[in-house]
Amino acid sequence: MIYPELFKSLEAVRWNMAADIPWDDFDASKLSDDQANTIKMNAITEWSALPATEMFLRDNRHDSDFSAFISVWFFEEQKHSLVLMEYLRRFRPELVPTEEELHRIRFEFDPAPALETLMLHFCGEIRLNHWYRCAADWHTEPVIKAIYRTISQDEARHAGAYLRYMRRALGGGEQGGLQARAAFAKMGVLMASVQRKGGALHPTNIHVNKSMFPNDTVQSRLPEPDWLEHWLDHQIRFDDAWEQKVSGRILHNLSLLLGETFASVQDLSRYRKAVTRVLRGPGDALGTGSGLVPA
């Protein structure tokens, strides 16, 4: 079981909302209305850990170790939402999300292959770590800069935790290991691709419920469904240099995990095709697709 060790290591570095956020440093002159509004959107987006947790627990009934870890992940993600809301409550109370706004992003996700979802979230945590670091640079008010830096570090640790479960999956026998490799490579190609015009690649921006299409991404259910692109392109300016960092981190970690050298997404794509060919022996159903489509 990985969960007991993860619990211990995450608890050892856990920050305290009252003591570790420098609330007294607030400088009202350094917070614009536009900046404050993005904090509201991020607070609601973080709340989507709730439907994601319901999805994880449903799709991982066979895996009590991972399900137990989700208790920690869920707690920390809800805390991210809460610290952003606490900032607004103190300094911009008119922007605190309503319970209805939070509840609106709680909807059912279609079942998806657990290993693909795992990889999707691993990449999502890496991406969010970079988004929040970029947001910390963009913000000018000291307290919110500190909050984004703090939660960005949690996101990096979450990626590390998912990576432990990915490594465990590789040890699941020859066939199980191959299926894990195929799933990780498939989602890695999607998530490491630098294609800014196609929409930001993050779990909250992926279509997850066919019956609700096109309003079946978390982002589409926010008070301002288009805010994410605006935030990335025109506010924090998450440019190609940042995108390359995200892609590089994903490829670097996958190289180490799979014991290959992926210098580019094309390398990973070739690897994916090779693994899929091996798997598509007689009677093997893998490669039928997960139904996950980027927005």
Footprint on this chain of Fe ion (rule: CB under 5 A) = 46, 77, 80, 125, 155, 158
Residue type (1 letter), 115: L
CA distances to 83, 117, 274 from 2, in Å: 28, 18, 30
Cβ proximity to Fe ion: between 59 and 77 the closer is 77
Cβ proximity to Fe ion: between 147 and 178 the closer is 147
- Min separation Cβ 77 and Fe ion, Å: 5
Cβ proximity to Fe ion: between 77 and 141 the closer is 77
- Min separation Cβ 36 and Fe ion, Å: 19
Q: Are 230 and 237 in contact (CB under 8 A)?
A: no
HEC sequence for 26-60: CCHHHCCHHHHHHHHHHHHHHHCHHHHHHHHHHHC
- Min separation Cβ 46 and Fe ion, Å: 5
Cβ proximity to Fe ion: between 83 and 286 the closer is 83
Please state, in angstroms and rounded to a whole number, the distance separating the CA atoms of residues 272 and 259: 14
Cβ burial 241-260 (10 Å sphere, 16+ → b, else e):
ebbebbbebbbebbbebbeb
Cβ proximity to Fe ion: between 148 and 242 the closer is 148
- Min separation Cβ 271 and Fe ion, Å: 27
- Min separation Cβ 23 and Fe ion, Å: 20
